[in-house]
Amino acid sequence: MNTETSQDAVSTSPFHPGERAVQSMAGVREEAEKRGQRMLTAELNPPQREFFRQLPFLVSAHTDEHGQPWAGLITGEPGFIAVEEDRNQCAVHWDRASNPTGVAVRAGDTLGLLGIELATRRRNRLNTTVFANEDQQWRMLIDQGYGNCPKYINERPWPADLFAGTYQLQDTEGLSAAAQALAAGTDTFFIATSSGPAQPDQATRASAWGTDVSHRGGEPGFLRTEKDRLVFEDYPGNNMFNTLGNIVQHPFCGLLILDFHGGDILQLAASADLVQAGDERKVELEILTTRHWRAADRPAQEQH
């Protein structure tokens, strides 16, 4: 392939250099490109629009002023997220929604959103750019919207009453003992990543590469502690490697862990390393900050 053709292919790819590097490492670069060209668009079909409209919660991803990604939780009455019929825009209506983890964005920020229906194991992702942050709503342009398969989603109903009410925040440097115990027993977590500052070959598609949030599931213990780090294996998926590609390019991430028994919410800010051993990959996390949101209006015996 000549240089001009190769450069043209890169400029039209929906993937940034970090994603392409991991795809090549895994031997699926061509397959991933074909899938990405087909799936990674700003257009949502009617079933996808309706899916978001009936959700009672969203998982979000944003980066703070230091470039640290955070995964957050937004809950609400079905209909709190609206997806426009005739344009690639969506909105969160705060008169129907709650913000228990204090997700905060400004106009111009990128915001990743994951819609997931745990009872049916259905999920769709939106990567967006906020263009209006108003008192009663956030309005966003959809840069990419696409579905994911139900693999590794542990089926359960959404306990809306459990993740409601007042929360108290406890901030801890590093990984607290309570957070380590909660992480060790979870079968589900969500991970926020970012592609970081725009690279030269991203100039024409920078808005499509911002902040992303993904689901991870497995048997309890799949998120484990090794020495002073949290570690998880990369299970086979859609081979687009959005999360791992972001980590290669910008080695920081944020985890969200929900306590489906006591209603607590755990946010972890981490630096991340992708470790390749043969055909297997794992992610090692050095936890920088723990944000432990404790359900304040529940009797103590209901909390873990």
Q: What is the pLDDT of residues 2-35, one digit of tens each?
A: 333 444 455 688 899 999 999 999 999 999 999 9
- What average pLDDT score do residues 163-173 get? 92
Amino acid at 45: N
Check whether 206 has a pLDDT greater than 70: no
Lowest mean pLDDT among 183-192, 195-204, 237-246, 271-280: 195-204
Q: Distance of alpha carbon 214 from its chain centroid, rounded?
A: 4
pLDDT of residue 236: 82
- What average pLDDT score do residues 219-237 get? 92
Amino acid at 69: P
pLDDT range class, residue 41, cuts 50, 70, 90: confident
Q: Distance of alpha carbon 128 from its chain centroid, rounded?
A: 12
The residue written with tokens 């230091």 in the block is 66
Separation of alpha carbons 69 and 292, rounded Å: 16
Separation of alpha carbons 281 and 289, rounded Å: 24
Contact 134/33 with Cβ under 8 angstroms? no
pLDDT of residue 279: 82
pLDDT of residue 144: 87
- What average pLDDT score do residues 174-192 get? 94
Separation of alpha carbons 259 and 188, rounded Å: 9
Right CATH number for 3-302 from 3.40.50.360, 2.30.110.10, 3.30.450.20, 3.90.550.10?
Answer: 2.30.110.10
pLDDT of residue 2: 39
The residue written with tokens 């490697």 in the block is 241
Nearest to 123 by CA among 244, 247, 195, 213: 213
Q: What percent of the chain has pLDDT over 90?
A: 69
What's the Cα-to-Cα distance from 243 to each of 100, 191, 276, 297, rounded to whole Å?
24, 8, 15, 35
- Read off φ and ψ for residue 246, nearest 5 degrees: -65, -45
Nearest to 79 by CA among 60, 45, 56, 101: 56
Element (H, E) at 9: helix 3-12
pLDDT range class, residue 200, cuts 50, 70, 90: low
- What average pLDDT score do residues 71-85 get? 94
What's the Cα-to-Cα distance from 147 to each of 183, 189, 246, 272, rounded to whole Å?
27, 18, 19, 25
pTM score above 0.85:
yes
Gyration radius of the chain's alpha carbons: 19
Separation of alpha carbons 203 and 97, rounded Å: 35
The residue written with tokens 């109903």 in the block is 157
**E strand segments, 205-264:** 211-217, 224-226, 229-233, 252-258
